[in-house]
Every structure is written in structure tokens, then in C-alpha cells.
Amino acid sequence: MSLPYLRLGINVDHVATVRNARGGAYPCPVRAAQLAKEAGADGITAHLREDRRHIRDADIRRLREEVALPLNFEMAATAEMRDIALATLPHAACLVPEKREELTTEGGLDVRGHHNTVAPVVRALADAGIRVSLFVEADPDQLRAAADAGAAVVELHSGSYCDAPEHERPALLKRLQDAAALTAKLGLECHIGHGLTYDTVGPIAAIPQVVELNIGHFLIGEAIFVGLGPAIQRMRAAMDAGRLMAPTYRA
């Protein structure tokens, strides 16, 4: 079977981080999303955090209305965020854990431990036609719990692999590969994200079951030096080169 196309979703949160450092209107995450589209991105991701530290409610509305790409709305599994998602109707929603004091999304969602909180939110969003993913660690128990909670998709957290010293990466890559293989057996679509760079994306793109990568912080940083379009195009090329290394795919 031929490999599925690998989509690239661009996370524009940190354009809003820079904007909010001064208040005001620029740099604008909606403009970043439009440039991402021109550079060949397949989707836009934005995380509306409880404390609104980067993306704001109006950004979500504008990304939905003004950008001709599917919007992946990253959110905590709370009633407030559920209601915003239902009012906005993004293409997809990705449920993530959220702690006020964290710098970024530090680990995967404990779907197993929070089934009774997560499953009703998954159901409400899915009933509204939103494709729901759960951001989880590459842990078989969490993948089974994601399937039990009714999710269509899981996004595997690649942070530990990307942040590890070189010599520890092979074992962490193997964990992601095994988890991706299990997603296929469980009937879940597999996405991967967090911490990816030009250097770490290749082996991840080579995982045959993965169909979407979501990348933000590195690309927004790189855009300062080379511009957002060229940074995205270089990432796309690194993904494509990695994909060529994938073993033959068997669903």
C-alpha cells in the first residue's frame, strides 16, 4: 500500500506571543496563517489557553473566517473551551492538558485517568462534526483509552524525543514508532507534534502511519531570520526527504 500524504499543520501561537509582548495588533497570527497557506501548509493550529497568554478569542474567530485552511483548535477539556469550539466549529479540535504555570504543553493528556471528563467533551465536539484528536504520550494504555473515549485521532507528543540528547533518541523514536503502529490497529488516525525542528523531523516523517505533523515554535523562531514562507518550505522539504525513508506501509 502506498504511504498516505503527510500534512503539515502550522501552529501560529507564538506569533501572538510576540504581539502580546507589547500589546497592540502586530505581528498578526492571521497574517502568519495566510502566509503559511501561500508557503504550502495544509492546516493551521492555534491553542486558546485558559489564561489567553498568546492566542485570543478574536484570533480564533478570524482564523476560522479569514484563512482558507482547516483550523485545528487546541483546547483544554473544559466547558468553556467546549462551548467556544461549538460556537466556532473548527475543522478539528485537539484536546491537550493545561496547567497555568507551564511554559508549554509539557506532557500528554491523561485520558485513562480522566475518561469521565474527556469522553463527554469528545462526544459533544464529534456530534457537532468536529474531528477530535487527543494529545497523548506514546503509551499503549493512553492510546487504548483514547479509542475508548471515542476520539478519531491521536496526536503523539514528540517533545521527549526532540529534547533528548542524541544518544537517547533511538529508544524514544522506537516508542513513537510502536505507538504509531498501535494507532493503526486501534483504528485511530495518527498525528505527531511538539518540539520538531529541521533536524528531528526526518525520522518522524518516516513513520508510515503518521499523516499529520503540527509544528510551531521552531518555525516562528526561524521566521525571524529567514521569513516564514522559506522556513515552512524548508521544513516541508525535510519532511519529504524523511518520508522517502519510510518502510513500505501496511495498514
**Whole-angstrom Cα distance, residue 6 to residue 65?**
25
- 11 forms part of the interface with ligand PXP (CB under 6 A): yes
Active site residue 47: yes
Active site residue 222: no
- The residue among 2 and 33 lying less far from ligand PXP, judged by its C-beta, is 33
The rounded radius of gyration (Å) of the Cα atoms in the chain is 17
- C-alpha cell of 46? 492555534
Q: What sign does the dihedral 230-231-235-236 (CA atoms) show?
A: negative
| Paired strand residues for 10 | 44, 215
- The residue among 40 and 247 lying less far from ligand PXP, judged by its C-beta, is 40
Residues 6 or more apart from 151 whose CB is under 8 A from it?
95, 111, 122, 132, 133, 134, 188
- 200 forms part of the interface with ligand PXP (CB under 6 A): no
Least CB distance to ligand PXP at residue 158 (A):
8
Least CB distance to ligand PXP at residue 96 (A):
5
Residues 6 or more apart from 153 whose CB is under 8 A from it?
92, 94, 131, 132, 133, 134, 188, 189, 190, 191
The stretch near ligand PXP (CB under 6 A) out of 22-30, 178-186, 209-217, 238-246 is 209-217
By CB under 6 A, name the one of 64, 82, 194, 236 that touches ligand PXP: 194
Least CB distance to ligand PXP at residue 1 (A):
27
- 196 forms part of the interface with ligand PXP (CB under 6 A): yes
**Whole-angstrom Cα distance, residue 90 to residue 60?**
9
- Per-residue interface string for the shown chain with ligand PXP, residues 149-178, x marking contact by CB under 6 A: ------x-----------------------
**Whole-angstrom Cα distance, residue 109 to residue 91?**
21
By CB under 6 A, name the one of 74, 137, 189, 212 that touches ligand PXP: 74
**Whole-angstrom Cα distance, residue 155 to residue 249?**
19
By CB under 6 A, name the one of 30, 44, 118, 215 that touches ligand PXP: 215
Q: Which residue has the cell 516508542?
A: 175
Annotated catalytic residue, options 47, 54, 157, 191: 47
For the annotated catalytic residues, the residue numbers are: 47, 74, 194
Binding residues for ligand PXP, rule: CB under 6 A, are 11, 13, 47, 74, 94, 96, 104-105, 135, 155, 193-196, 214-218
